[in-house]
Amino acid sequence: MKILVADKLSSIGIDFLKEQDGFDVIEIYELPKEERQEELLELAPEMSGIIVRSDSRITREVLEKAPKLKAVGRAGVGVDNIDIEAATDHGVVVLNTPGGNTIATAELTFTHMLCGARPVPQAVASMKAGRWDRKILVGSELRGKTLGICGMGRIGGEVAKRAKAFEMTLIAYDPFLAESRAKVMGVEQVEKDEMFARSDYITVHMPLTDQTRHMIDEAAISKMKDGVRLFNCARGGIIKESALLDALDSGKVAAAGLDVYEEEPPNEDHPLRKHENINLTPHLGASTQEAQESVGLEIAQAVTDAVKGGEIRNAINMPSLDAETIEKVGPYLDLCSKLGTFVQQIALDKVESLAIYYYGKVMDLDSDSLTRGVLRGFLQNISGRNVNFVNARALVDSLGVGVDVVNSSEESDYTELIRVQAQCRHGETVSAEGTLMGKGNSPRIVSINDREVELEPCGYVLVVANSDETGIVGQLGTIIGNAGVNIASMSLSRNKVGGIAINLAGLDSPLDEATMSEITSIEAIKQARLVYLEC
């Protein structure tokens, strides 16, 4: 079996691969980047496994040329350079190393914070230039300052631990972090605008999603203290670079540190490169000897197991199961994932706990795998591409969200049924139930908040809860039509005459904020959410 190492991997990982019986390890990382991509395409037909970092791209074209390919491993967290959908279509497992760079990134974040407080890089440059600028290179202390942490996942939590040792006051913004978990971690949980207003230092530890892109822009910076310091070692694009540059020029932001950028690498003449009050590093988050050795060995072991038919670990697109179990539970995993993400999107407030119920024949399957599928879906819009079947449970635990799994003996209208129920912070409950239908075992959502519906969970869905009265459907149709959006399907349900009805409208494209505001302004409508479910 041929294993292609396309990008530079630690020697410990390479050695592990070469020690495996039956492996022919091919290394092409010494080639220039573009030549390497061409060589990857040329070699793909004979490969059983491919290992990359961030340079080489595993595209649909590569996958279509690789009939023997069983696994693609990413020595790192991000998998933006791998076509996950195409890999799944071709039955190729995609693996990553989600925890290997946690400490390295947290320590780099703190390095940037320290350099933002004390002008060490400027002092080094001054000394090397033969000057003694002691009087003008005055810094400040971290002790007693308020640190705002955006995102309290693994890395955010490690930053918080270190900030406590520096006697900083910790506040955190994470819309999905349970209050109980925040207390355990010793941080005060606040809303985003309050964090902006109170923080002396702000550091970002969130995935790049539609919700977090340019989260820190001109409007956000205007709400901050004069002289605030900003740091991003997470994903480029969360801080809007043009807004940061203007704020540095005006002095609103006293100092900043970036390890990631909207475009990598940034242009040679990018104005941020020349600004004296910002420290820039070339995406060094995972660039420690320990982290590289850890992820190198971890991905080598994971790819070896996957290629040889052993246990699958750290999989992005399938659970960590043997092949026989995957064959049995496979059809249900997509349903579980969609139920999880659907409930997360219709939740009225922060989710404190999840209850997952299995009915009928589903109880005979591996419930741990199904539960991880639900949790992966629940986290999809929270943790972005970093979430997989392996780390989903740990990520939910880190948010402080309780999970209860029940194999129910109660009878159901379906031979197999899965129910996902979320308990929100102020006592509200939302739920969705689903099953598989037809010869193709297609997933269907058959109940929402205990109202019977039939919904193919695919694409944009407008979910409306309204008083059961005449004219609502007509008003919705008119508003959506005026927005130029086509309604592909509709499903209606109510709990009783004159009670609360559920209207579901499958849409060909999303609705803008103005249209959603017009819908929610209808007096009879109690709630309206636009949900997106990957097809």
Catalytic residues: 235, 264, 283
Name, in order, each residue with C-beta under 8 angstroms of 523's C-beta and a sequence gap of 6 or more: none
How many Å apart are CA 363 and CA 46, to the nearest integer? 41
How far are the Cα atoms of 111, 311, 324 from residue 368, in angstroms, in the given order? 40, 15, 15
Q: How far apart are CA 177 and CA 192, in angstroms?
A: 13
Residue 420 to residues 32, 346, 445: CA-CA distances in angstroms?
Answer: 49, 12, 11
Q: Tell me the angle at which helices 472-482 and 513-520 cross, rounded to the nearest 10 degrees.
A: 160
CB neighbour list of residue 65: distance below 8 Å, 6 or more residues apart: 41, 44, 45
The amino acid that residue 384 corresponds to is G
β-strands 459-467, 525-533 pairing: antiparallel
Question: DSSP secondary structure string, 276-300?
Answer: TTEEE-SS-TT-SHHHHHHHHHHHH
Could you tell me the strand order of the sheet in which 228-232 lies?
188-189, 169-173, 146-150, 201-204, 228-232, 253-258, 278-280
Assess contact for 187 and 211: CB atoms under 8 A. no
* Contact call for residues 312 and 72 (beta carbons, < 8 A): no
Q: What is the C-alpha to C-alpha distance for residues 114 and 142, in angstroms, rounded to an integer?
A: 8
Structural contact between residues 455 and 486, judged by C-beta atoms closer than 8 angstroms? no
User: 420 by DSSP, 3-state: which?
Assistant: strand
CA-based nearest residue to 477, from 492, 467, 495 = 492
Element at 117 (helix H, strand E) = helix 102-117
Q: Are strands 442-448 and 429-437 parallel, antiparallel or unpaired?
A: antiparallel
Contact 152, 172 (CB under 8 A): yes
HSE-up (13 A, CA, CB side) for residue 454: 5
Instruction: Name the strand (E) or helix (H) holding 417.
Output: strand 416-424
Closest CA to 222 of 203, 204, 240: 240
Between the alpha carbon of residue 373 and those of residues 303, 356, 376, 388, 442, the distances in Å are: 22, 11, 5, 9, 16
